Amino acid sequence: MAFALVLFSAACTQVSIEEGNGQGYLYVNLERDDSEDLVFKASAEDYTFSLKIYNELSQLVATVDDAESLKEEPLNLNVGKYTVVASTAENSAAAAFDSPFYSGSAEFEVRPDEVSNVDVTCTLANVKVTAKFSDEIKSEFKTYTLTVSNGEGELIFSNTDGTADREGYFSVTGTLTWSLYLENNDGGKYEALTDSYTDVKAKEHYNLSFSLEKQEEFGGGALTIVLDDEMTEKKYDITLDFGDETVPEVSDNFGYVEGEPMEVNAGDNTSKVLSITSEDGFKNLYVVYETESSSAASFLSEARTASNKVQTDLVGASSIDIENLKAAGIVAESVEQGATAATVDITSYIASRPIGTASVSVLSTDINGAYTSKTYEFVLRSPVDVEAVSADAWAMFATVTGKWFTADVPSGLSFQYRKSADADWSSFSGNVTTNAEARIYTAEIRGLEPETEYVFRAISANDTETKEVTFTTEAAGTIHNMSFDEWYQQDGKAWYANASADNFIWDSANEGTANLLIGAVCPTTPSDDVAVPGSVKAASLVSSTAIGQFAAGNIYTGDFVKISGLGAELKWGVPFTSRPVGLKGYFKYNPKKIDKTKSPYGDLSGRPDTCQVQILLTDWSEPFTINTSSNKFVQIDSDPNIIAYGKMEYSPESGSMSGYEEFTIHLEYRDMTRIPKYVVITACASKYGDYFTGGVGSTLLVDEFEFVYDPAELE
């Protein structure tokens, strides 16, 4: 059965998105889908669906008990990307009559002022089992009982309590085992008839239909039962059971109480050995254990819809089977059919499991068909209140994350850190941010040294010794001649703010101006008017004209390629792989009124000019090619390869600045994980010079540029 759930950020009812806090609303509409699957057809209205909403970090952010309730009271969500998991409201049991469990998931995005329609198809997540008994069986046997198990739960289909004709639903464990018990009208009991299926998947229907192939005197002797399970027909010869009621037995050495999950500390390595015996000898001996589940599938794991279980039959197991068990931490040996004893050591398996839950099941059938199953369930808890998780390290600070395991937020949440080479710990003294739903907390540790290995650990009022996490801070990179002290002149014409042509970082419009008009004055030159004592030179950027075309005085990291029409082709960007948080420096500006304009800035004529300093961190595959003639420029707001951006613009109201002023540009990161490949720094005397608009004679002096790596310098 498939159900379609349609999720809206705005749906039948008009919904507004609050731009101020970046939120949207979630609506749900249940629609009927009449398509059939392997089991049966039903209406979506027959079920109540619950919803779980996860963010991009697989963290549960919202739960809705009844999806229909959202039509009356919409769910408020922040703008962003999510995954919705829909399911019938009751959690899937290991085995239950007449309780199909449906689930499904889909990704969706909440955007401001946009409608998002998301279809979620919910399909049956169980295995369906039904039993049918022929009229001959019903008339000749006073008791017929079918027991079906998936290793975690079982159902009994019997004529004695009215369950023979009911529909059974089982969680997916990959296996089903059944045993048929018969008692004839004279009270004669037959030995159990048993078989099992492997590779059992969700949405499969096992219809176990039993009939008699021939009839005899049922007071004793033998008879043949025919099973038609809609996949293949099997015949079983069964004989009377004259009182042998022995079944395989499972015991342990650690005092497990059946039905009560055992709590142990994660990493607990105390002995845990299972002993299995069979007086009549093993026919099958299955060990079923869980593999790791991904965090994104956490809900599906709860619902038992995604099989993460591995089943191994120790009877006749190959050497590969035994090695696979060992790799999972389970020690056992292959046993022969008819063997009467076996052991399974799960010590290492439980010790290796992460915090959460784990289970191991044993399913054993003897050669007479008697069947036993036992499941050992464990709750693995942390031996500590808090634990270090991860660090996002920059050059001079790191955002560290810890996790707590107690029911409530522990008091005194904080961190300690040190250099790996040091013995003494430093205590973090700032504020921590907590996420109660995810049970994590974070802090920003500042004052670190670049390219240095550190260790941190999480602490609370009760815990001071926990897992240590190592991280290494990034390099605090720089680029050549950010002080603008070094210059060279080529052929007595164009000036370049570099020590030589062999170390080329900075370029300007000088080369184009020199080539357009022989003898023209370079718009970008070294200046003795410096910002601070000890500085040798500053960069002077003067807006001017060449053959009637306006050219802003500028300097940038990159390369002047060639003259293109009445404009120029440039390469923006030089290699750079660090992550500064800002750029600081000094500037002095003498603006003129804008007297050269071009579309689309013709309305700026007569206004004071504006200077600009920009910085971009990008992961372009190569420097960006700009062509001022064809209006090909970097799209600052929309280029997906821009990782961080910042700018400073200034137009003094009183005219010229009498002296230098310091500026600091905050870099706004659009992605906190990507590493740059290029840096672009530009400074120009006329902000709209790319569009041939500005004031002739506007002059900008810049000096002593420097990257900022310590966030404290931005405060």
Q: What is the spatial distance between Cα 458 and Cα 380, in angstroms, rounded to a whole number?
A: 20
Q: Is the pLDDT of residue 20 over 70?
A: no
How confident is the model over 208-235, as a mean pLDDT? Answer: 61
Q: What is the phi/psi pair of residue 327, to 5°?
A: -60, -30
pLDDT of residue 542: 94
How confident is the model over 207-215, as a mean pLDDT? Answer: 74
Q: Which residues contact 391 (CB under 8 A, 6 or more apart)?
A: 398, 399, 400, 401, 454, 456, 469, 471
- Using DSSP, state whether 18 is helix, strand or coil: strand
* Percent over 90 (pLDDT), the chain: 46
The CATH number of 3-124 is 2.60.40
Q: Is the pLDDT of residue 512 over 80?
A: no
Q: Is the pLDDT of residue 5 over 50?
A: no
How confident is the model over 439-448, as a mean pLDDT? Answer: 95
How confident is the model over 502-515, as a mean pLDDT? Answer: 81
Tokens of 639: 């280029």
Give this prediction's pTM.
Answer: 0.55
pLDDT of residue 376: 95
> Buried (b) or exposed (e) across 499-535, using 16+ Cβ within 10 A?
eeeeebbbbbbbbbbbbbeeebebbbbbbeebbeeeb
Q: What is the spatial distance between Cα 185 and Cα 189, in angstroms, rounded to a whole number?
A: 10
How confident is the model over 4-16, as a mean pLDDT? Answer: 28
Q: Indicate the range of 104-108, 218-222, 434-438, 544-548 predicted with least confidence.
A: 218-222
pLDDT of residue 539: 97
pLDDT of residue 256: 95
Greater confidence (2 vs 656) lies with: 656
Q: Indicate the range of 192-196, 452-456, 518-522 predicted with least confidence.
A: 518-522
Q: Locate the domains of the chain by residue range.
A: 3-124, 127-241, 249-380, 386-472, 488-714
* Beta-strand relationship, 668-669 and 642-650: antiparallel
pLDDT of residue 493: 80
How would residue 265 be classed by pLDDT, with cut points 50, 70 and 90? confident
Helix or strand (DSSP H, E) at 211? strand 205-212
Looking at CATH, the fold of the domain delimited by 488-714 is given as: Jelly Rolls (2.60.120)
pLDDT tens digits, 644-690: 999 999 988 767 898 999 999 999 999 999 999 999 999 999 999 87
Amino acid letter, 433: T
How would residue 452 be classed by pLDDT, with cut points 50, 70 and 90? very high
Please tell me if the domain spanning 127-241 has the same topology as the one spanning 488-714.
no
Q: Is the pLDDT of residue 249 over 50?
A: yes
Greater confidence (443 vs 85) lies with: 443
Q: Indicate the range of 219-228, 367-376, 424-433, 581-590 predicted with least confidence.
A: 219-228
pLDDT of residue 642: 97
CA-closest candidate to residue 108, choices 25, 22, 17, 20: 25
- Give the side-chain half-sphere CA count within 13 A for 567: 15
pLDDT of residue 514: 57
How confident is the model over 524-536, as a mean pLDDT? Answer: 95
How confident is the model over 573-580, as a mean pLDDT? Answer: 97
pLDDT of residue 237: 59
Greater confidence (93 vs 477) lies with: 477
Q: Is the pLDDT of residue 190 over 80?
A: no
Greater confidence (627 vs 8) lies with: 627
Q: Is the peptide bond before 600 cis (omega within 30 degrees of 0)?
A: yes
Greater confidence (235 vs 166) lies with: 166
CA-closest candidate to residue 497, choices 641, 189, 678, 705: 705
pLDDT of residue 236: 61
How would residue 598 be classed by pLDDT, with cut points 50, 70 and 90? confident
pLDDT of residue 230: 62
Q: What is the phi/psi pair of residue 300, to 5°?
A: -60, -30
Looking at CATH, the fold of the domain delimited by 386-472 is given as: Immunoglobulin-like (2.60.40)
CA-closest candidate to residue 549, choices 604, 509, 519: 509
How would residue 17 be classed by pLDDT, with cut points 50, 70 and 90? very low
pLDDT of residue 304: 34
For the chain, how many helices (H) and strands (E)? 5, 53
pLDDT tens digits, 277-297: 999 899 999 999 987 543 323
pLDDT tens digits, 61-92: 888 888 777 766 767 777 778 888 887 755 56
* Percent over 70 (pLDDT), the chain: 81
Q: Which CATH class is domain 127-241?
A: mainly beta
CATH among 1.10.287, 1.20.58, 1.10.3470, 2.60.40 for 249-380? 2.60.40
Sheet of 433-435, strands arranged across: 386-393, 397-404, 440-446, 433-435
Most confident of 90-104, 159-173, 504-518: 159-173
Cα 471 → chain centroid: 21
Strand partners, 419: 454
Greater confidence (409 vs 681) lies with: 681
pLDDT of residue 24: 47
Longest dimension (CA), the chain: 123
Q: Indicate the range of 56-60, 456-460, 585-589 predicted with least confidence.
A: 56-60
Strand partners, 373: 363
pLDDT of residue 114: 58
How would residue 139 be classed by pLDDT, with cut points 50, 70 and 90? confident
Greater confidence (301 vs 174) lies with: 174
- With vertex at residue 712, the alpha carbon angle to CA 555 and CA 400, rounded to the nearest 5 degrees, is 115
Q: Is the pLDDT of residue 210 over 90?
A: no
The mean predicted confidence, pLDDT, of the chain is: 82
